[in-house]
A and B are shown apart, each in its own frame.
Chain A
Amino acid sequence: MTAPALPPVHMRRTAFDPTPELGEIRKQEGVRTVVNAFGMQVYLVTRHHDVKRVLSDHAHFSNARPPGFVLPGAPALPEEEQASARAGNLLGLDPPEHQRLRRMLAPEFTIRRIKRLEPRITAIVDEHLDAMEAAGAPVDLVERFALPIPSLVICELLGVPYEDRADFQARSGRQLDLSLPVAERMGLAQAGREYMHTLVDRARSYPGEDILGMLISDHGAELTDDELVGIAGLLLLAGHETTSNMLGLGTLALLRHPEQLAAVRDEPDAVGPAIEELLRWLSIVQTSIPRITTADVEVAGVPIPAGQLVFASLPAGNRDPEFTDAPDVLDIRRGAPGHLAFGHGVHHCLGAPLARMEMRIAWPALLHRFPHLALAEDFDDVAFRSFHFIYGLRSLAVRW
């Protein structure tokens, strides 16, 4: 399979902005059938209100896959192997099975627990700023700042040795690159699970103070090794592929809006609302995890038969003029609660408090250390990751 020249419509962007076609679908019929990265027909839902409905109505829009569901190009695996690969993946489960696992993890991600990480995250951010300063400009902000900070934080939290990062960062980056063949991506996922099995084995013998250790100490008898591998793998992937892209892309967005950058740097009260607006405006997660209709339904008056794939477009929903005025403008003083960047419904991002905390520490620290931070490449040359399930930058050359 060769990579198509353009990503599917729901992933297409010009720099920060979703393709105008997405806005047209939202304005016209609201739901349109499009072809996804695997050549499958999917129903693309674009309006804020409809995205919320699809994501909260798990009885009609299921995260689980019916028996026999395979992606085109995926090797046929025995059912046992498939079940082992699916275990512990919260994003592939519906209530009540989903709730069982989510409830085990939720205590680790309360606002109070995450606040306790503040000093450690601050120290990690400072170390990386020191290293950037020592290296001297220009540096690649993605390599030096945006990727390593969330990666180190999730490794420590989870109990994954940071020394192993080269392997798992390369794996997760490619696993979510939808231009690669499905079989290759499944192979990478399998390699990731094998790696995680070694960590689970070790933690079963010597459970540490980290999340993996806690899960084993508190729920070790209720969870299979496959489930632990699935949970840890999902947290590792989600923990560094998301915040890192927000930090990279968000810094570029602020550099392109200097008055708003100055506010984030100089006004502590502006930081929280700025993060929410950057989450909304950038909407780096291109779509929700695809849902499958369990019955004939209608969305925005468009009939969708049972058994169809439904993609909820988070960028389209977040830029719906019915949700907020002048949605294409980045305005950190907008004050429009209710964006969909972390999803909606029972699968709403578990790590949202952690992501917010990392951004709240990282951006002001970066901009205080380098008040004259600037692009060290032409904006037109900046490399965006256009085929990625999570939008972001490949690199970002900066000076100060």
Chain B
Amino acid sequence: MKLEADHDACIASGNCVMISEVLFDQDEDGIVVLLAEEVPEGEEDHAREAVKICPASVLRLT
């Protein structure tokens, strides 16, 4: 399971960081930073939840 993010469309809501600080961080401007491209074991639910609640729909799972 891999995570992808469209950084240009990110609106810096921080919702993903709220779900998992293992998978996501924000840079100084608030834009999403993926901490792990390959979703680590045990974080799959968090990854799905983050994709679902991103208000700008910039996260994708492949």
Contact = CB atoms under 8 A, between A and B. Distances in A.
Do A and B bind? yes
B18 A348 contact: no
B6 to A, nearest CB: 13
B57 A106 contact: no
Contacts, number: 58
A342 B55 contact: yes
A183 interface: no
Contacts of A110: 12, 14, 26, 28, 30
Most interface-central of A103, A109, A111 (chain B CB within 10 A):
A111
Contact of A353 (B18, B29, B53): B18
A337 B49 contact: yes
Interface string B28-55: 1111000000000000000001001101
B15 A352 contact: yes
A346 B29 contact: no
Interface residues of B, number: 19
B55 A109 contact: no
B19 interface: yes
B14 A353 contact: yes
B34 to A, nearest CB: 15
B5 interface: no
Contacts of A353: 14, 18
A102 B55 CA distance: 14
A259 to B, nearest CB: 26
B3 interface: no
Contact of B56 (A112, A342, A345, A349): A345
Contacts of B17: 111
Contact of B29 (A106, A337, A349, A350): A106
A356 interface: yes
Interface string A323-364: 000000000000001100011111011101100100000000
A107 B14 contact: no
Given A337-B49, A343-B55, A102 B11 contact: yes
B13 A348 contact: yes
Given A56-B55, A338-B52, 18 more contacts: A99-B11, A103-B29, A106-B29, A107-B12, A109-B12, A109-B30, A110-B12, A110-B14, A110-B30, A337-B52, A337-B53, A338-B53, A342-B13, A343-B55, A345-B56, A348-B11, A348-B55, A352-B14
Interface of B: 11-15, 17-19, 26, 28-31, 49, 52-53, 55-57
8 tightest A-B contacts by CB?
A348-B55, A106-B30, A106-B12, A110-B30, A111-B14, A110-B26, A111-B17, A348-B13
Interface of A: 56, 99, 102-103, 106-107, 109-112, 337-338, 342-346, 348-350, 352-353, 356
